[in-house]
Amino acid sequence: MDGKSRVDFEVFGDVMAFDATYKKNKYKFPLVVFSGVNHHLQTIVFGSAIVAGEGEGTYIWLLQRFVEAMNGKRPDIVITDGAKAMKLAIEKVFPDAHHRLCGWHLLRNATANVSNPKFTQQFRKCMLGDYEIDEFEEMWASMVNSFGVKDMEWVETTYGIKDMWATTHMRGKFFTGLRTTSRCEALHSQVARFVKSGYNIKEFLHHSRRWMGLLRNNEAEVDYYTSYGFSIMQTQVQALER
């Protein structure tokens, strides 16, 4: 990370997603990318790291270094794909942050564990629906009973952490519209335009800076049009809309 990364995190670092599925270097080490959303709803990168492994100790060390580099600031919301090592590290380093699980990964897990498209559809409604707590509990009980999965280990475990994925149990939390780590996946595809699998660490750093430059140029362009362009009103109440 650099000075711009620190400024971005100071301003936009309330909500942060991070993911470590990308291994685009000759050593096949995971690349961890810390990202968020700016005032244009564009994806921005707070920092990245190449790590030798994906264990709990590695993530604890990494998050501690992240906090140190960000002058002690910690995010209020963290979104991940649900990897156990990440979860444990977040609990220790960001104890006051609300950890949200990626909705896409949850739906994929529901499909893999129950193998019933209708169950996945109902689970999606439980996850995204803005219900009262009593309504959610009734809907969940009806769903697990009708599909006969009440005693399934995955179902019990997932219900036990409902405050990490159910909209009903996350009211009052600000997520900047992030429900998944899909922005992380999009970043990975962008990196592939600049970085090749045969690059060593030095080459990787050089070309990843080019990638960061592209992201920042996109933000600069929109900043310019916001300041000097003309807004096109979409409604009749133009004064209020403007």
Q: Residue 99 CB: number of other CB atoms within 10 A? A: 18
Cα(106)–Cα(100) distance, integer angstroms: 11
What pLDDT was estimated at residue 224? 93
Tell whether 111 is covered by a domain.
yes
Place of tokens 């264990």: 55
In this structure, the answer to whether residues 40 and 88 fall within a common structural domain is yes
What pLDDT was estimated at residue 23? 58
In this structure, the answer to whether residues 12 and 67 fall within a common structural domain is yes
Tell whether 67 is covered by a domain.
yes
Strand partners, 100: 79
What pLDDT was estimated at residue 22? 59
Tell whether 139 is covered by a domain.
yes
Q: What torsion, rounded to 10 degrees, do the Cα atoms 130, 172, 71, 201 define?
A: 0
In this structure, the answer to whether residues 98 and 188 fall within a common structural domain is yes
pTM for this entry: 0.81
CB of 175 closer than 8 Å to CB of 77? yes
Domain count of the chain?
A: 2
Token reading at 188 = 């990975």
Tell whether 235 is covered by a domain.
no
Token reading at 117 = 């498209």
In this structure, the answer to whether residues 135 and 21 fall within a common structural domain is no
CA distances from 104 to 43, 85, 181 (A): 18, 19, 8
In this structure, the answer to whether residues 84 and 186 fall within a common structural domain is yes
In this structure, the answer to whether residues 117 and 190 fall within a common structural domain is no
In this structure, the answer to whether residues 67 and 51 fall within a common structural domain is yes
CB of 126 closer than 8 Å to CB of 139? yes
Token reading at 209 = 């800076």
Question: Can you list the residues of the chain whose pLDDT is less than 70?
Answer: 21-27
